[in-house]
Amino acid sequence: MSHPVTLKRGIAATLIVLGAATAAPAQDFAPESPECIAPANPGGGWDFTCRQVGKSLQDLGMIDKTMQVVNLAGGGGGVAFAEVVNKRNDQNDLIVAASTATATRLAQGAYPGNTRDQVRWLGTIGADYGMIAVAADSEVETLPQLLDMIKEDPRSVSVAGGSAVGGWDHLKVLIAAQAAGIEDVRQVKYIAFNGGGEAVTQLLAGSVQAFTGDISEAKGFVDSGDIKVIAVLSPERLPGEFADFPTAKEQGIDVVGANWRGFYAPGNMSDDAYNFWVDTIGKLYDTEEWKQVMAQNGLAPLDLQGEEFEAFVADSVGSITEISKEIGIIK
């Protein structure tokens, strides 16, 4: 099974072939006080990852204690990363939500003094296609219409996202802008917020004209009638309740962007604890209950655990470094 992580003609073609991972068997370990750090404010993708996985693990009896979710926003995930590396580096009960946004910040050296090999990478729970949305009452109906407005007057359109400047939400807009023929994509006005929920709040307040995030972040706001999705960055239309959302590609903007979702753990976590979490996340992924959660939230298949996930993150960081250099985010 192959899965496009980022695919854009003329920028970088990164097609990573993924196989089903085999997790090491769990040892004699059970978390006494399971905790998941969501490195953003409530309402975004990292928050969804912690809360939904914690609930599912408990509902299915995979952990026998309630997963405590702690929101630790700041620095596009950098505050949480530093907290784990510097203060909680040997805690066996702790996992941290991560995504392509995490790999992006690491690729760009945006977590000062921190690198991907300071933590242990556990596994993925799916991938979340990017999307671009506007307020439900906006006159903008299509992605080309929005990009034409940016072409005519770059300062007239502010795009909000839940990742820092240069982060994955920002990159998605820049890649789409470049695909639309905007030569100097650095003119695109992007405003960073601490999570997708906060970005949507600013969109609804009229402070910004568009929102870039992932399908899982948009779902609730679409259902409530607050926003409309003008483009999904998937190769083809998503199934089921997402089938009404047009892709960027069908509108002539040839860009695909998927955000993997998963977890890392403290670098000095014991092998027994590491194997437990790798095995447990893998077992959760394989359940029919999790497949249903994926379908309801627009998550695409992505099944990697343990060493295979470690290698995948290393590849992701390398490819995003290349994209960031080509776009001019880093030198």
Cβ–Cβ contacts within 10 Å for residue 298, how many?
A: 25
- For residue 240, give every residue at least 6 positions away whose Cβ sits within 8 Å of its Cβ, in sequence order, or none: 295
Question: Half-sphere exposure of 143 toward its Cβ, with a 13 Å CA cutoff?
Answer: 30
Dihedral of alpha carbons 265, 266, 268, 270, sign: negative
Domain boundary among 222, 257, 292: 257
The conformation of residue 155, written as its DSSP 8-state character, comes to: G
The conformation of residue 176, written as its DSSP 8-state character, comes to: H
233 and 295 inside one domain: no
287 and 174 inside one domain: no
Q: How many Å apart are CA 95 and CA 38, to the nearest integer?
A: 9
pLDDT digits (tens, 9 = 90+) for 68-78: 999 999 999 99
The predicted structure's pLDDT at residue 240: 83
**What is the b/e burial string over 3-37, where b = at least 16 CB atoms within 10 angstroms of the residue's CB?**
bbbbbbeebbebebebeebebeebeebebeebbbb
148 and 250 inside one domain: yes
198 and 314 inside one domain: no
Long-range pairs of 146-155 with CB within 8 A, sequence gap ≥ 24: 146/209, 146/210, 146/230, 147/176, 147/177, 147/180, 147/182, 147/253, 149/209, 150/177, 150/182, 150/187, 150/188, 151/180, 151/181, 151/182, 154/187, 154/188, 154/189, 155/189
Q: How many Å apart are CA 2 and CA 15, to the nearest integer?
A: 7
237 and 297 inside one domain: no
Domain boundary among 225, 240, 257: 257
Q: How many Å apart are CA 210 and CA 148, to the nearest integer?
A: 13
* CATH number for the domain harbouring residue 168: 3.40.190.10
Give a three-class secondary structure readout of 96-142.
EEEEHHHHHHHHCCCCCCCCHHHEEEEEEEEEEEEEEEEECCCCCCC
CB 80 within 8 A of CB 37: yes
155 and 262 inside one domain: no
184 and 290 inside one domain: no
Spans of the chain, pLDDT less than 50: 1-26
CB 197 within 8 A of CB 41: yes
Rg (CA), the chain: 19
CB 40 within 8 A of CB 195: yes
192 and 282 inside one domain: no
- For residue 116, give every residue at least 6 positions away whose Cβ sits within 8 Å of its Cβ, in sequence order, or none: 103, 106, 313, 314, 317
251 and 219 inside one domain: yes
Three-state DSSP class for 321? helix
pLDDT digits (tens, 9 = 90+) for 100-109: 999 999 999 9
The predicted structure's pLDDT at residue 27: 55
121 and 170 inside one domain: no
Total domains present in the chain: 2
Domain boundary among 204, 227, 257: 257
The predicted structure's pLDDT at residue 23: 43
**Residue from 108, 52, 62, 117 nearest 85 by CA:** 117
25 and 103 inside one domain: yes
Q: CA 65, 278, 102, 220: dihedral to nearest 10 degrees?
A: -50
29 and 68 inside one domain: yes
Domain residue limits at 163: 130-257
* CATH number for the domain harbouring residue 19: 3.40.190.150
